[in-house]
């Protein structure tokens, strides 16, 4: 059985993450520019408009990214299967004969739609939190302005200003809460999300192509993992549940905590004969 190089989307992932980082820096700059000692409605509206523009820019770039990188991950999965099964000798040759079969066309469509909507949820979340926090901070700043006369002060106290600034910053930087209730910085969440989506698209494409070529087994890759994945490195799995032989079915391993977890780098090299490995 041949080993094919593990997919690596580091460059693409960093490119997308930097879009979010730049956007968030821009949003923070807009929020920092607000004069909290004398917050005017027009100023708030202008800032929120600029923030919306920044978020729309992020959405446009994410859409392009997903349309380009997800099909590439699927195509890579198909190409590496073609090499693993000996249909082509090199990945370059394999890339030339890659064709998306029906299952892989459907896969591409589903993963693109899914990733788009997950990424859209990130910017929607930032938008909602920033708006709510700006409103809250505006109300607090106004109250503090009324109250300052009571103490004979001329301005809002430094403590209050610092607290309001912090609130604005936090609204952007801890805005994502996942299904398990964990808080994420948006760029860390996006990194995890697209890393997981590209790897899982690659794996699904591999399985689809392998099964279409009547290869029903695969070997899990090895890179010296130290987490729970280490127990699975080099192991043979079934790609379809009813293939003969006493091997775990890959579908039962996925989505669990042990292997093929978020951020997991493991792949599968397909083979027709589990004994021939």
Minimum Å gap between C-beta 25 and Zn ion is: 32
Return the number of the residue (171 or 269) whose C-beta is nearest Zn ion.
269
Among 266, 268, 270, 271, binds Zn ion (CB under 5 A): 266
Return the number of the residue (173 or 269) whose C-beta is nearest Zn ion.
269
Return the number of the residue (86 or 262) whose C-beta is nearest Zn ion.
262
Which among 58-66, 82-90, 183-191, 266-274 is the span making contact with Zn ion, rule CB under 5 A?
A: 266-274
Minimum Å gap between C-beta 266 and Zn ion is: 4
Write out the two tokens for 251. Answer: 């579908």
Longest Cα–Cα distance of the chain, Å, equals: 87
Count of chain residues binding Zn ion (CB under 5 A): 3
Return the number of the residue (238 or 266) whose C-beta is nearest Zn ion.
266
Return the number of the residue (129 or 195) whose C-beta is nearest Zn ion.
195
Minimum Å gap between C-beta 219 and Zn ion is: 14
Binding mask 14-33 for Zn ion (x = CB under 5 A): --------------------
Please, is 48 exposed, middle or buried when counting C-beta atoms within 10 Å of its C-beta (0-12, 13-18, 19+)? middle
Return the number of the residue (140 or 258) whose C-beta is nearest Zn ion.
258
Minimum Å gap between C-beta 69 and Zn ion is: 20
Binding mask 203-242 for Zn ion (x = CB under 5 A): --------------------------x-------------
Which among 120-128, 216-224, 241-249, 261-269 is the span making contact with Zn ion, rule CB under 5 A?
A: 261-269
Minimum Å gap between C-beta 46 and Zn ion is: 47
Asked whether position 253 contacts Zn ion by CB under 5 A, the answer is no
Question: What is the residue-wise DSSP string for the chain?
Answer: ----PPP--HHHHHHHHHHHHHHHHHHHHHHHHS-TTS--HHHHHHHHHHHHHHHHHHHHHHHHHHHHHHHHHHHHHHHHHHHHTTSSSSHHHHHHH----HHHHHHHHHHHHHHHHHHHHHHHHHHHHHHHHHHHHHHHHHHHHHHGGGGT-SS--HHHHHHHHHHHHHHHHT-EE-TT--EE-HHHHHHHHHHHHHHHHHHHHHHHHHHHTT--EEEE--S---SGGGGGTT-EEESSTTSSSS--BHHHHTTSSSSS-TT----EEEES-GGG-
Return the number of the residue (6 or 118) whose C-beta is nearest Zn ion.
6
Asked whether position 264 contacts Zn ion by CB under 5 A, the answer is yes
User: Would residue 239 be called left, alpha or beta, if left means φ above 0 and alpha means ψ between -120 and 50 degrees?
Assistant: alpha
Asked whether position 84 contacts Zn ion by CB under 5 A, the answer is no
- Which residues would be at the binding site for Zn ion (CB under 5 A)? 229, 264, 266
């Amino acid at each position: 059985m041949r080993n094919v190089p593990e997919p690596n989307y580091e460059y693409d992932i960093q490119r997308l993450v930097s879009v979010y980082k730049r956007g968030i820096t821009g949003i923070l700059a807009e929020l920092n520019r607000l004069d909290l000692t004398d917050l005017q409605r027009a100023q708030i509206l202008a800032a929120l408009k600029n923030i919306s523009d920044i978020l729309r820019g992020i959405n446009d770039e994410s859409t392009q990214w997903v349309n380009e990188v997800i099909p590439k991950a699927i195509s890579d999965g198909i190409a590496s299967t073609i090499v693993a099964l000996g249909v082509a000798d090199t990945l370059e040759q394999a890339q030339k004969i890659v064709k998306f079969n029906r299952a892989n066309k459907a896969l591409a469509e589903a993963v693109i739609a899914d990733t788009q909507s997950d990424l859209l949820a990130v910017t929607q979340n930032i938008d909602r939190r920033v708006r709510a926090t700006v409103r809250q901070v505006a109300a607090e700043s106004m109250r503090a302005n009324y109250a300052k006369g009571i103490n004979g002060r001329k301005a809002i106290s430094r403590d209050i200003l610092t607290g309001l600034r912090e609130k604005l910053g936090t609204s952007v930087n801890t805005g994502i809460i996942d299904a398990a209730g964990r808080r994420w910085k948006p760029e860390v969440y996006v990194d995890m999300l697209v890393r997981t989506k590209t790897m899982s698209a690659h794996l699904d494409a591999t399985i689809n192509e392998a099964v279409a070529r009547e290869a029903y087994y695969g070997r899990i890759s090895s890179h010296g993992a130290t987490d729970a994945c280490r127990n699975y490195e080099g192991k043979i799995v079934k790609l379809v549940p009813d293939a003969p032989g006493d091997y775990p079915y890959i579908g039962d391993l996925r989505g669990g905590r042990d292997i093929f977890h978020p951020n997991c780098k493991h792949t599968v090299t397909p083979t027709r004969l589990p004994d021939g490995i």
